[in-house]
């Protein structure tokens, strides 16, 4: 009986244990299944996220590759690199400009005056803080070698010379205000020391300016051009014969209509550039010299200070002018007791390295006492062209002078050709030319002279 109940209890316990264990196992299995399903869903989302990021990365790489290809094509289309020599020339050209010198504090600011000193001359500038006072200084030297093959038929010998053709020191600036200026130039040409210019000028307006002192007479343009910026080493024989050089005087001038017009109305003593050589600088015949000048610049302001086109004008520049002088001088000498009238017309053109200058002169000398009047005329034409822009320039000139139109076979002629090389524009250059000069005086025959010259100029 006891073994029967033992079997019943054990069987019941076994059944109950199996049921409880199965419930636990079922619960655990269900929980594990749910977790497995949950884990499987998170992994899929993660893989999809990774795939999306890889696709975005590949897209960015494709864009970078395309941008790199475009850059390579652009670089391949760029011009070849600039050489060191080209960079050197560009820097030298820029340093020679007025703009560069002003930025470095060298030179006077641009002024609205017409016949004023050339700012490119100056090397050192001292200015007051308010700009009402300034002192600018500079210098220039021209060293020249000249060989002359002279006509032995007229008893003249050949010559060989080394000379300091021009040696100048100058001072300029403004005083008391920005409208009142001064200029003084000293020369030691061929070691003959003297004062070349000294004057004061007032520049209130572009259209109206005034100058008083000792300065160049505003008659012919080649004479007014600076000797540092001539196409040849000297002016033509016609210009030397008719120009009025320097004198004591007063000039009213201006450039109205934005520089398309220019005028001068001036009065001078008329005694000449070196009147003291004749024992006095007084105006002995009580006759003053008067100058009227007008100019038209069809394409705007024209740089008549410079006979060349070393600045290489990108647009056409031209000037047409005419001047008349009453009581004119003859080769810078006052004609006493003589009424003399001189006139000149000129034409100048510049364009892309080409410069063409022409002047025609006439003069009539009428003695107040008995005597015949003398008419004379002359002209020159000259052409320059830069075969290497801003560096190498070739030039030619022809000039003729007839000192008396009533005398036949009485003339002078000049033929010249040369080359100029510019290291730093006009501040450092070398000029060389060959000229043939013919003088005819009636039945005496032709007096010929051949001339070869080399000149180096430095401005400091």
Q: Are 421 and 414 in contact (CB under 8 A)?
A: no
Helix (H) or strand (E) holding 294: strand 289-296
- Tell me the C-alpha distance between 309 and 234, whole Å: 17
**Summary mean pLDDT of the chain:** 83
**And the tokens for 431?**
């000029």
Residues 6+ apart with CB under 8 A from 442: 407, 408, 409, 410
CB atoms within 10 A of CB 82: 9
Q: In the chain, how many H helices and how many E strands?
A: 5, 17
Q: Are 361 and 222 in contact (CB under 8 A)?
A: no
Low-confidence ranges of the chain (pLDDT < 70): 1-41, 74-119, 274-284
pLDDT of 155 reads: 77
CB atoms within 10 A of CB 33: 10
Q: Are 160 and 149 in contact (CB under 8 A)?
A: no
Q: Where are the alpha helices (DSSP H) in 186-263?
A: 221-224, 237-242
Q: What does the pLDDT look like over 248-307, one tens digit per residue?
A: 999 999 999 999 999 999 999 988 776 555 555 566 677 899 999 999 999 999 998 899
pLDDT of 363 reads: 97
Would the pTM count as exceeding 0.85? no
């Amino acid at each position: 009986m006891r073994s029967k109940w033992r079997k019943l209890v054990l069987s019941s316990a076994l059944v109950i244990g199996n049921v409880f264990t199965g419930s636990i196992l079922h619960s655990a299995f269900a929980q594990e299944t749910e977790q497995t399903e949950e884990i499987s869903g998170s992994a899929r989302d993660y893989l999809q996220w990774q795939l999306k990021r890889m696709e975005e990365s590949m897209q960015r790489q494709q864009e970078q590759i395309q941008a790199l290809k475009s850059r390579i094509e652009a670089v391949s289309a760029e011009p070849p690199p600039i050489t060191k020599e080209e960079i050197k020339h560009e820097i030298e050209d820029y340093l020679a400009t007025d703009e560069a010198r002003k930025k470095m504090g060298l030179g006077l600011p641009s002024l609205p005056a017409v016949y004023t000193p050339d700012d490119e001359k100056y090397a050192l500038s001292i200015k007051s803080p308010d700009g009402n006072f300034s002192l600018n200084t500079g210098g220039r030297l021209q060293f020249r070698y000249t060989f002359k093959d002279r006509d032995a038929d007229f008893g003249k010998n050949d010559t060989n010379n080394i000379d300091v053709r021009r040696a100048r020191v100058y001072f300029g600036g403004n005083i008391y205000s920005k409208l009142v200026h001064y200029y003084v130039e000293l020369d030691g040409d061929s070691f003959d020391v003297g004062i070349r210019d000294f004057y004061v000028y007032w520049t209130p307006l572009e259209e109206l300016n005034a100058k008083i002192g000792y300065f160049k007479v505003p008659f012919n343009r080649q004479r007014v051009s600076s000797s540092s910026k001539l196409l040849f080493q000297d002016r033509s024989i016609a210009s030397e014969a008719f120009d009025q050089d320097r004198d004591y005087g007063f000039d009213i001038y201006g450039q109205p209509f934005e520089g398309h017009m220019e005028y001068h109305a001036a009065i001078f003593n008329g005694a000449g550039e070196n009147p003291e050589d004749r024992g006095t600088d007084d105006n002995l015949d009580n006759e003053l010299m008067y100058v009227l000048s007008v100019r038209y610049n069809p394409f705007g302001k024209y740089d008549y200070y410079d006979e060349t086109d070393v600045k290489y004008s990108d647009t056409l520049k031209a000037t047409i002018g005419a001047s008349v002088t009453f009581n004119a001088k003859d080769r810078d000498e006052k004609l006493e007791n003589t009424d003399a009238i001189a006139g000149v017309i000129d034409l100048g053109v510049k364009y892309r390295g080409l410069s063409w200058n022409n002047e025609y002169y006439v003069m009539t000398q009428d003695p107040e006492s008995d005597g015949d009047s003398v008419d004379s005329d002359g002209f020159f034409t000259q052409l320059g062209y830069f075969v290497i822009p801003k560096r190498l320039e070739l030039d030619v000139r022809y000039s003729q002078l007839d000192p008396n139109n009533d005398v036949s076979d009485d003339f002078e002629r000049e033929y010249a050709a040369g080359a100029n090389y510019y290291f730093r524009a006009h501040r450092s250059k070398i000029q060389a030319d060959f000229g043939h000069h013919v003088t005819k005086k009636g039945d005496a025959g032709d007096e010929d002279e051949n001339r070869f010259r080399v000149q180096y100029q430095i401005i400091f």
